[in-house]
């Protein structure tokens, strides 16, 4: 386990689901979207039952293991977009922002995506300023979805070669 600035990145566990669903619901409401907590909990629970995607990671405090933030990675669900990996729901509790939590969560997504056959991964965001470009992501276009304007970023993935064990 790699500890950075007093926290580490871990896979979502069943007992994390209510906390993470609550985070995501609150953050969605802040941007004018209504997200049902029980539906979010169901999606998160389903993500634990698969070997591939979706995957959710959490950042945990090293001392008390409380959740400081979360992020998901999955193939897009929108039929009008090509099927590629997307980062979703990057969230860090306000009091832990600007401490590297979000950057480490993004790094974990990239590390996981490099294990696939994909060559790129994308994300879309509202109001991020230079945050993603400062973390190595490249702005590619603006997309209007459901009366909101999103910036779409991508990052090129260098595949990690896996070798068979002898």
pLDDT digits (tens, 9 = 90+) for 134-143: 999 999 999 8
Q: How many domains does the chain have?
A: 1
Closest CA to 57 of 8, 93, 100: 8
In a domain, 152, yes or no: yes
CB atoms near residue 131 (< 10 Å): 16
Q: Does the structure show a pLDDT above 70 at 165?
A: no
In-domain check, residue 123: yes
How crowded is residue 109: how many other Cβ atoms within 10 Å of its Cβ?
Answer: 23
Q: What is the pLDDT of residues 74-111, one digit of tens each?
A: 987 666 667 789 999 999 999 999 999 999 999 999 99
Give long-range contacts, CB 8 A cutoff, 24+ apart: 144-148: 148/31
Mean pLDDT, residues 120-143 taken together: 90
Q: What is the DSSP letter of 99?
A: T
Q: Determine contact, residues 114/85, Cβ cutoff 8 Å.
A: no
CATH of residue 49's domain is 3.40.630.30
For residue 161, is it within any domain? no
Residue 120: domain span? 7-156
Residue 166 in domain: no
Tokens of 102: 């979000």
Residue count of the chain, please give it.
Answer: 166
146/6: higher pLDDT: 6
| Pairwise pLDDT comparison (165 vs 97), residue with the higher score | 97
| Beta-carbon contacts of residue 51 (< 8 Å; ≥ 6 apart) | none
Q: Does residue 159 carry a pLDDT above 70? A: no
Model's pTM, two decimal places?
0.88
Question: Helical H runs in the chain?
Answer: 17-30, 37-48, 101-113, 131-134
How many angstroms separate the CA atoms of 13 and 160, rounded? 26
Write out the two tokens for 160: 């990690």
């Amino acid at each position: 386990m790699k500890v950075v600035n007093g926290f580490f990145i871990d896979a979502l566990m069943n007992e994390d689901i209510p906390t993470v669903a609550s985070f995501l619901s609150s953050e969605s409401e802040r941007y004018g979207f209504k997200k049902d907590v029980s539906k979010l909990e169901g999606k998160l629970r389903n993500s634990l039952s698969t070997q591939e995607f979706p995957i959710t990671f959490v950042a945990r405090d090293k001392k008390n293991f409380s959740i400081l933030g979360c992020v998901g990675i999955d193939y897009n669900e929108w039929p009008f977009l090509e099927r590629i990996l997307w980062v979703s729901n990057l969230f860090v509790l306000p009091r832990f922002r600007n401490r590297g939590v979000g950057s480490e969560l993004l790094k974990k997504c990239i590390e996981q995506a490099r294990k696939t056959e994909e060559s790129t991964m994308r994300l879309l965001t509202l109001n991020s300023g230079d945050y993603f470009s400062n973390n190595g992501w490249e702005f590619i276009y603006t997309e209007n979805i459901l009366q909101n304007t999103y910036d779409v970023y991508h990052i090129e993935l260098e595949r990690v070669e896996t070798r068979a064990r002898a």
